[in-house]
Every structure is written in structure tokens, then in C-alpha cells.
Amino acid sequence: MEIEIIKVGDLQTNCYLLIKEGKCLIVDPGSDEDFIIKRIKELELEPLAILITHNHYDHVGALDRLKEVYDIKSYDHDNLFEERIGIGPFSLNVIYTPGHSSDSISFYFQDYDIMFTGDFVFHGGIGRVDLPTGSYSDMLKSITKLKQYDEEITLYPGHDESTTIGYELKNNEYFK
């Protein structure tokens, strides 16, 4: 599986294209839908679905337009359970990770040791918990859940650079 990172919007949200066998999943299309559409066309991909880590505007701004253009379904906390699912050639685990928001989820691609965390965990930090439906106690519970996973897993956040669980265990004050 290949990962294409597209920075979108004023907050430079990481929109990801997960690519396999000429098909793709779109993760967190925050805005700049025309740019996302252009990139999908350039790569000659067939979008299968949209994955949403949480419903803040900077992660869903282009959602409706992309659903309309590609006639595809979106998946988020409201229509997913904590389980393993398959979408075309993609297989992933859905993990509820509330804290930044009550609807925060992470997508774990076990076959590749990668996880898309939205604004749950960042390189050296965590997402804000002072926004509506955010909760520091929920964030700590989600971090405890994440600590159970392999340290080699690469985390792809909603903003900034990727990291690993191992790095966060050693360097992130919230993981101590």
C-alpha cells in the first residue's frame, strides 16, 4: 500500500490517499476538493470510500463534494464499530480513540503497521481537549489503549509529521 499526503486548507490538514491496486481510500479530506480530485485523476485512481477520523471542519470540508463527484460512501464514528473491516483490497481495524472529540477514531492497517490517528496523537503531543466534546480523561484512556499496540507502528496524524508509538512512548509527556 502506498500513501500519498496532500496538505489541505489553512490549517494544513493531512489528507491521505491510501493506494493499492489502482484503487484508493481518501482519509480526512479537509478542504481543497479540486486539488484532491486533480491528484486522484493524475494518479489514475478509483476512489472506493472516504475515512473520517473525526468531524471537525478541517477534516471534512471537502467530504460532501467528494462523495458527490465519486458516488462513494464515507465512514466515521457514526457508522463504524470497533472491528476489522474490508473495503475493496483494503483491510483495517477501527479503533475508538475519543479525547480530542467524542467521535475520534483511528484506522489501523495491521498488515502494514500503520495507523491514521487524526487529531488524537501528534509527533510529540496530543490533540486539543478543550473543544466541544473533548475530554482529557477520555484522551488518557485512549492513550492507554494505544500503548497496547506494537511500538513499531507508524502513526499518521491529522497535521504535521508522522511518528511511531515507540517514539511517543519515549518522548511524549502524555504517554508517561
Residue ranges of the domains in the chain? 2-175
Mean pLDDT per 10-residue interval, the chain, length 176 residues: 97 98 98 98 98 97 98 98 98 98 98 98 97 97 98 98 98 95
The pTM of the whole model exceeds 0.95: yes
**Distance, CA of 168 to CA of 161 (rounded, Å):** 13
Determine the length of the chain: 176
**Distance, CA of 127 to CA of 121 (rounded, Å):** 6
**Fold entry, domain 2-175:** Metallo-beta-lactamase; Chain A (3.60.15)
User: What are the residues facing 113 on neighbouring strands?
Assistant: none
User: What are the residues facing 115 on neighbouring strands?
Assistant: 108, 155
Containing 59, the helix (H) or strand (E) segment is helix 57-60
